[in-house]
Amino acid sequence: MKSLPAPRVTVVVLSYNRPRLLEHALRSILTQTISGMEVIVVDNRSASSEEICHLVATFQNVRLVANRGNLGFTGGMNRGLGEARGEYVYLTEDDVELAPDCLAHLIEYLDAHHEVALAGPVMWNRRAGTVRCAGGEFDLGAVYRMRIVGAGAAEAPQKRPFPTMYLPGAAIGARTSQLRDLGGFRDDFFMYGEDVELCARALKRGRRLSIVPAAKVFHHEPPHHADSPVVAYHKFKNLGALYLLHAPLRVLPMWALRYAGIAGIRQLLGDRSALVPWVKAWIWLTVQAPGLLVQRGRT
C-alpha cells in the first residue's frame, strides 16, 4: 500500500476542557485558503474529553490525539509536533481562531525567508478588536522585563513583516524539521514561560524570529481571576529555570537575591496566598539548579 503524500502544513491544536471554543477554532482552521493541510487536535485529559472526542469526530480530516492525562502546554504541543507529517507546522490552541488567509501568509513568508526559524501572526483580542500581541522583547537582567509589542492598540504596529524576540506559544509557525531540531518546548516547564524559553534558545543558536502582520489570529479573552496555586508554582519555577538556562551568569546572584530574598520577605509580610507555591518552586529550583546550569551550555 502506497503511503499518503506528506501534507504541506500540519496544524496542531492544543485542547483542554473547552469544547465550545474548540469547535470555533476548528471551523476557522478548516476554512484556510491554503491547500495540503492536516489538522491534529491534541487533547489533554479533562472532564470534557469525552465531549471533545465526539466533537472532533464530526469534522472530516481532523485527527484526535487523546492524552491519558494532562501533559500541560509543553507536553501537549510536543506530542503534536511529534505526530506532525507536514513540511511546516503551526501551533495553536482551542481558544484561538484563525483568519482565513492566516496560514497562507505565514507559509509564503517562511518559504521566501529560509533564515527565519519561527514566524507568527499578529494576535488580536476577539471581543475588543485590539492587538493582544505582535511579538515582544524580553530582558534577562537583574529584573526580568517583558514588553509585548502593540498590546491594546487598534492597529498593528507595522504592515510589513518585522523581527521579534518573542512569539506566543499558541501562535508559532515553523518548518517542522527546524522546530524539532530546536527540541520543541521543554517538558519540565509544563505551562507558562515555555515560549520565552523556546525563543531564547532559538536566538542563542542564531535563529531569526519574525512577525507577519498580514497573518491574523483572534484570541478569546480569558476571564480575569487570581492565579491558582498550581499556576503560581509553575510561574515561579519557570522564571527561575529560564534564568538558570539563559541569563548572563553575572546577573544570577543579584536576580536570586531579589527574587528569593526580597520577594520571600514580601511573601511573609504581605499576602501569603502564594507563599506555599513560591516555597515549592524554590525547592524545585534548588534541586534542579546543577542540571540546568550544565544544560545552559548545550541549549
pLDDT, tens digit (0-9, with 9 covering 90-100), for 144-154: 999 999 999 99
pTM: 0.93
Which of 41-50, 77-86, 219-228 comes out lowest in average pLDDT? 219-228
pLDDT, tens digit (0-9, with 9 covering 90-100), for 258-290: 887 666 666 666 666 678 888 899 999 999 999
Query: Is residue 292 scored above 80 in pLDDT?
Result: yes
Nearby residues of 148 by Cβ (< 8 Å), 6 or more positions away: 133, 134, 135, 136, 166
How does 73-102 read in b/e, with b if 16+ C-beta sit within 10 Å?
bbbbbbbbbeebebbbbbbbbbbbbbbebb
pLDDT given for residue 274 in this prediction: 72
pLDDT, tens digit (0-9, with 9 covering 90-100), for 15-42: 999 999 999 999 999 999 999 999 999 9
- Please tell me the CATH superfamily of domain 9-219, with its number: Spore Coat Polysaccharide Biosynthesis Protein SpsA; Chain A (3.90.550.10)
pLDDT given for residue 271 in this prediction: 63
For the chain, give every domain's residue range: 9-219, 229-295
* All cell numbers assigned to 18: 473547552
